[in-house]
Amino acid sequence: MSWEENVRRAVPYVPGEQPDKPNMIKLNTNECPYPPAPGVRRVLEEFDPDTLRLYPDPQAGELVRALAQYYQVEDSQVFVGVGSDDVLAMAFLTFFNSGKPILFPDITYSFYDVWAQLFRIPYQTLPLDGEFRIRREDYRRENGGIVIPNPNAPTGIFEPVAVMEEIIRDNPDSVVIVDEAYVDFGGESCIPLLKKYDNLLVVQTFSKSRAMAGCRIGFALGNPKLIGYLNDAKFSFNSYTMNRLTIRLGVEAVRDRVYFRETVGKVIATRERVKDELAALGFTFPDSRANFIFARHRQAPAKEIFSYLKSQDIYVRYFDRPRISDYLRITVGTDREMEALTGTLRKFL
Amino acid sequence: MSWEENVRRAVPYVPGEQPDKPNMIKLNTNECPYPPAPGVRRVLEEFDPDTLRLYPDPQAGELVRALAQYYQVEDSQVFVGVGSDDVLAMAFLTFFNSGKPILFPDITYSFYDVWAQLFRIPYQTLPLDGEFRIRREDYRRENGGIVIPNPNAPTGIFEPVAVMEEIIRDNPDSVVIVDEAYVDFGGESCIPLLKKYDNLLVVQTFSKSRAMAGCRIGFALGNPKLIGYLNDAKFSFNSYTMNRLTIRLGVEAVRDRVYFRETVGKVIATRERVKDELAALGFTFPDSRANFIFARHRQAPAKEIFSYLKSQDIYVRYFDRPRISDYLRITVGTDREMEALTGTLRKFL
């Protein structure tokens, strides 16, 4: 079968398990434990299914406008896609095209090297320091682009905007992507820097703070030129990515500022409580500003805790990788879910 | 701004206009004039919006199984994506990777050369004959892959499966993609050939015969090895492309065989009637087996007819391109819409 010789071989990203058991406690893929905004329910009630016969607006204009309004930027500064993975993949394809290696931390979102391999972009990972912090001076070398999640995943560590600004300023010849999937849980966005730097692309998602992982909406903000290039690539790949329902659902989710603040506030409050409880149980962890805690126990191996929790239908995430194989990434769920978690941990330990 | 030097420049596909006027007659993007299956409405009524907080099944297993059952293939032979454009783009990226030119007709779906350019795949277009038919002997040269729509767009011409089989058989070292977006309107699918040829990928869509352009569902059928490679690439690009609602909506649409046959039957009946009326008005056209008619008038220039129809809020598609600039592509709408069209044409001519 010699057609096989010409196949682009890819080593795919492995997403977290998506078990579907009736009484499981799912703390493994950083979903929001609360439902989407009430307006989302109304969309489903009022949506005319007959309109599904028609193509959606390829620009997803209504959603673009809602996001532009929310973040106080121009419509021409907003790009939307099928989850932030779609947005990031298109950005890698569009901007990381120089032949020079792109830079990102050694411990980070594990999709970056997968995209680089898929698109044959050379890359270099830069080791975080012993505390999992970015060494900003590392980002002063020649490169074909930079991508940094802030807060970082899976550590949850937030780097001050001033650190990000230095990196953006030091690299005017590269597009710098700041992946802010978790920024709403107590970080600070780089969006205000868009006014000063034309090489900055900020990427966010509806999957975490907006409780819509099941909907697949991500977006990027940047200067109009940069967004224009991204749209050209997107329209060379697939014109109609955002379906009619998703556009409407996304609009209603963005508009409800009060519900958004409440939801995020509850997650943060729970996270801070859980930090104390985990510490009391003998865990240590970097100070998370995300909706998860990256924790290791002083004695018990992470892999054993992971397996025990799983046997009790509590799912957390374990990465069998260098430097982080002692850690568990635990999503912040509801208070009740977190009590069940700490109770189960207490029993095991 | 020297980051711009490294941008992948793409000349995007330009989709048909998506006007949204209250009384317009939209015959320009080959949508189905009838609503999706009744089960689609039920999904919207019964869907629990709270579940949108959770990621979808990355395998879209329920939809894959429904399609496998419908087409009587194994689950491992089905790949789903965000419209057939997503499926085709992933297939181009995955399979057209040899450095040798891929082949497709000179008059065809205008996204093929856009994808080739985006992914830097060399390509060669092979001229259709004077009747817009494929010259099968052209497909015997060395190539890095082949893609042929059947029925072809925008001509509507269907080539017998035997012709496709020859091309597939002649090219065991290439993946041959048969793009069957319009096959349900009177063509015959190459799906049965999957048993004989491991280099065949058949791509179809929910946007036409299943009346769900607004939902964005496409799929490919092939042997498990080929589908496996496609999934590896997909999981290297974006794990979660099909959202929770879309998966459910797609399943219900596939299951309703009776409604599907009725809808397709109505479109075909209207098309055949309209053919007679267009002929009586002085139009000529290849014999369409799709949900559109590719027609030219004996006297009146296509561009003028197009503009007049648009002034009357009737939208058809005009391609200002070599060899086809005398033609209009007219989607088959409801009987009432087509009466309005032919009435307006009568007035103009």
Residue A18 and residue B78: Cα distance in Å, rounded?
20
pLDDT tens, A302-324? 999 999 999 999 999 999 999 99
- pLDDT tens figures, A119-161: 999 999 999 999 999 999 999 999 999 999 999 999 999 999 9
**Pair type for strands A283-284 and A292-297:** antiparallel
Give which of A53, A147, A173, A200 to mutate to test B binding, by max B Cβ within 10 Å: A53
| pLDDT above 60 (res B1) | no
End-to-end CA distance of chain B: 54
Mean pLDDT over residues A88-109, rounded?
96
Any CB–CB contact under 8 A between A221 and chain B?
Answer: no
CA dist., res. A181 & res. A30, Å (int): 10
With a CB cutoff of 8 Å and minimum separation 6, the contacts of A346 are A281
Residue B14's pLDDT is what?
82
Query: Is residue A11's pLDDT more than 90?
Result: no
DSSP state, residue B141: S
Q: Other CB atoms closer than 10 Å to residue B82's CB: what's the count?
A: 26
Q: What is the mean pLDDT of chain A?
A: 96
Hey, are the CB atoms on B237 and A83 less than 8 Å from each other?
A: no
Judged against a pLDDT cut of 80, whether residue B78 lies above it is answered with yes
Average of per-residue pLDDT values in chain B? 96
Distance from CA of B299 to the nearest CA of A (A): 33
Bridge pairing between strands A176-179 and A146-149: parallel
C-beta of residue B163 within 8 angstroms of C-beta of residue B148: no
Claim: this prediction has a pTM higher than 0.90: yes
A 10 A CB-CB count for A256 gives: 17
- Considering CB atoms only, which of B33, B52, B212 is closest to A214? B52
Q: Which two tokens stand for residue A216?
A: 């697949």
Q: Which residue in the set A12, A49, A241 is minimally distant from B236, CB to CB?
A: A12
- Total beta-carbon pairs less than 8 A apart between chain A and chain B: 287
Would you say residue A108 has pLDDT above 80?
yes
According to the model, what pLDDT value does residue B277 have?
98
Helix (H, G, I), strand (E, B) or coil at A231: helix
- Report DSSP state, residue B51: G
Of B53, B173, B233, the CB nearest to A35: B53
Measure the CA angle with vertex A241, ends A240 and A243; round to 5°. 90
Question: Which two three-digit tokens encode residue B262?
Answer: 């009725």
From chain B residues 80-119, the ones with a CB under 8 A of any chain A CB are: 82-83, 85-86, 89, 93-98, 114-115, 117-118
Instruction: Classify residue A333 by burial, with Cβ atoms within 10 Å: 0-12, 13-18, 19+.
Output: buried
Residue B113: both structure tokens together: 């050369």
* Chain B, window 153-172: residues with a beta carbon less than 8 angstroms from a chain A beta carbon: 172
CA distance A241 to chain B (A): 6
pLDDT digits (tens, 9 = 90+) for B184-196: 999 999 999 999 9
Q: Name the one residue in this structure whose structure tokens are 């129809």.
A: B309
* CB-CB under 8 Å, B53 with A2: no
Question: What topology does CATH give the domain B38-255?
Answer: Aspartate Aminotransferase; domain 2 (3.40.640)
What pLDDT shows up at residue A1?
A: 55
Is residue A300 scored above 70 in pLDDT? yes
pLDDT of residue B246: 98
Q: What is the pLDDT of residue A262?
A: 98
pLDDT digits (tens, 9 = 90+) for A254-270: 999 999 999 999 999 99
A8 → chain B, closest CA residue: B94
Q: Could you tell me if residue A128 is left (phi over 0), alpha (psi between -120 and 50 degrees) or otherwise beta?
A: beta
pLDDT tens profile B302-318: 999 999 999 999 999 99
Q: Is A216 left (phi over 0), alpha (psi -120 to 50) or beta?
A: left
d(CA B146, CA B103): 5
- Is the pLDDT assigned to residue B264 strictly greater than 70? yes
pLDDT of residue B320: 93
- Superfamily of domain A18-36+258-348 in CATH is Aspartate Aminotransferase, domain 1 (3.90.1150.10)
Cα–Cα nearest to B317, from A22, A167, A26, A55: A55
Domain ranges of chain B: 22-35+258-348, 38-255
Q: Cβ B52–A11 below 8 Å, yes or no?
A: no
Q: Compute the nearest-CA separation of A168 from chain B (Å).
A: 12
Q: What is the pLDDT of residues B93-123, one digit of tens each?
A: 999 999 999 999 999 999 999 999 999 999 9
In this prediction, residues B74-97 reach a mean pLDDT of 97
Among A19-28, A109-118, B7-16, B182-191, which stretch is predicted with the lowest mean pLDDT?
B7-16
Question: Tell me: the pLDDT tens digits for B195-226?
Answer: 999 999 999 999 999 999 999 999 999 999 99
Contact A86, B241 (CB under 8 A): yes
Question: A211 — contact with chain B (CB < 8 Å)?
Answer: yes
Topology adopted by domain B22-35+258-348 = Aspartate Aminotransferase, domain 1 (3.90.1150)
Inform me whether the pLDDT recorded for A181 exceeds 80: yes
Cβ–Cβ below 8 Å for A34 and B12? no
Sign of the dihedral defined by the CA atoms of residues A168, B237, A111, A20, in that order: positive
User: B334 — contact with chain A (CB < 8 Å)?
Assistant: no
Cα angle: B235, vertex B236, B238; to 5 degrees: 60
Distance between CA atoms of residues A318 and A29, nearest Å: 11
